[in-house]
Amino acid sequence: MSKHLYRTLLIWAAIVMALVYVYPTAGWMMLSEEARQARLEKWQQEDDKIARERTGYLQELLAGAKRWAEFDRDKVINLGLDLQGGIHMVIGFDINDLPEETLAEYRRNNYTDADIEREIQQTVLDQITRRINDFEAKEPIIQALGTNQIQVQLPGEKDLQRAKNLITKTAQMNFHLVLGPDEAAKALGAIRDAFPEEFLPFVKMSSLRPDILTVLPENYDRVRRVLARAKEAGVIPEDKTVAFSQAPKPYERQEYQLYVIESKPL
């Protein structure tokens, strides 16, 4: 009898765990696009509030349970293109389309056609991966196909034109003038005054240099959103832009620095 009861309890426990696991996915799939976007924005605000107030473990646990009940996006199972649709793209290239000077440079360095294809494919793969990160897709698949193609899958995404523009746009390098300490301190001070609760808790200020603000990687998205709002509200003038430094390398201090630059390139 006890053995039978143990087996029954084990089966019910497995069923309950399975329901807990699939609940966010089932609920999320039933929401409209408008409802999904509204919840994502609401959760962003809640996450920012928790980070600002540095709540304790119990509060975070309760917030996590509430988020799960609202179909937590982070708990949604990645269903893939076959189950939920999305965007599938294959980007190809031909080394014969390279400029003659570039191809000649490869030849001078004793590159074979296979070597050239391999190097270009890796370069394109790295570039597309960085751009897809800006798309904020849920578990994208980016991988090499053969020797001259890249496959991109964005499950659940619908905006094909935006994806194409993001992936295939031509990269450009621009140079912008970095403003001096006084102008930078004034611009950053205006943002601090306009968004004290949304901005101040997520930046570190130098006690000696008010024009130097740094941001930890985990606060990057929060600060980026505040800067976008400041730009829209006119807090950041049209002729100025607040930019992040490049991502820190593993052996460097893990933080970004904010720079105030001229919007118009040199």
Q: Is 100 exposed, middle or buried (0-12, 13-18, 19+ CB in 10 A)?
A: exposed
142 DSSP β-pair partners: 152
Q: Determine the pLDDT at residue 2.
A: 67
Q: Are 208 and 192 in a shared domain?
A: yes
Q: Determine the pLDDT at residue 121.
A: 86
- The mean-pLDDT minimum among 56-70, 113-127, 143-157, 216-230 falls in 56-70
Residue 138's pLDDT band, with cuts at 50, 70 and 90, is low
Last residue within a domain, chosen from 32, 48, 75: 75
**Is a pLDDT exceeding 80 seen at residue 48?**
no
Spatial neighbors of 203 by CB under 8 A, at least 6 apart, are 213, 214, 215, 219, 223, 258
Residue range(s) defining the domain that contains residue 123? 81-168
Return the structure tokens found at 98: 């390279």
Q: Determine the pLDDT at residue 82.
A: 64
Q: Determine the pLDDT at residue 81.
A: 67
Judge whether 176 lies within some domain.
no
Judge whether 173 lies within some domain.
no
Q: Determine the pLDDT at residue 90.
A: 87
Judge whether 58 lies within some domain.
yes
Last residue within a domain, chosen from 75, 106, 131: 75
Judge whether 211 lies within some domain.
yes
Helices (H), 54-180: 57-69, 81-84, 100-108, 113-135, 160-168
Last residue within a domain, chosen from 139, 168, 197: 168
What distance in Å separates the CA atoms of residue 247 and residue 218, rounded to the nearest whole number? Answer: 12
Contact 205, 213 (CB under 8 A): yes
Q: Are 7 and 64 in a shared domain?
A: yes
Residue 64's pLDDT band, with cuts at 50, 70 and 90, is confident
Residue 175's pLDDT band, with cuts at 50, 70 and 90, is confident
Identify the CATH number of the domain in which residue 161 sits. Answer: 3.30.70.3400
Q: Are 153 and 94 in a shared domain?
A: yes
Q: Are 117 and 192 in a shared domain?
A: no
Judge whether 174 lies within some domain.
no
Q: Determine the pLDDT at residue 136.
A: 61
**Is a pLDDT exceeding 80 seen at residue 58?**
no
Q: Are 85 and 163 in a shared domain?
A: yes
How many CB atoms lie under 10 A from the CB of residue 77? Answer: 15
Q: Determine the pLDDT at residue 54.
A: 63
Q: Are 185 and 250 in a shared domain?
A: yes
Judge whether 89 lies within some domain.
yes
Judge whether 188 lies within some domain.
yes
Number of domains in the chain: 3
Residue 152's pLDDT band, with cuts at 50, 70 and 90, is confident
Q: Are 151 and 228 in a shared domain?
A: no
- Chain mean pLDDT for the chain: 81
What are the strands of the beta sheet with 204-205, ordered from one edge? Answer: 204-205, 213-215, 256-262, 240-244
The mean per-residue pLDDT over the stretch 51-71 comes to 76
Judge whether 86 lies within some domain.
yes
- The mean-pLDDT minimum among 25-34, 75-84, 197-206 falls in 75-84
Q: Are 33 and 52 in a shared domain?
A: yes
Amino acid letter, 165: N
The mean per-residue pLDDT over the stretch 65-92 comes to 78
Q: Determine the pLDDT at residue 209.
A: 76
Q: Are 116 and 187 in a shared domain?
A: no
Q: Model pTM greater than 0.75?
A: no
Q: Are 159 and 120 in a shared domain?
A: yes
Q: Are 62 and 123 in a shared domain?
A: no
Q: Are 203 and 251 in a shared domain?
A: yes
Residue 147's pLDDT band, with cuts at 50, 70 and 90, is confident
User: What pLDDT digit, counting tens, does each position of 95-106 carry?
Assistant: 888 888 888 888
Q: Which residue has the higher pLDDT, 242 or 25?
A: 242
Q: In 3-state terms, what secondary structure has residue 94?
A: coil
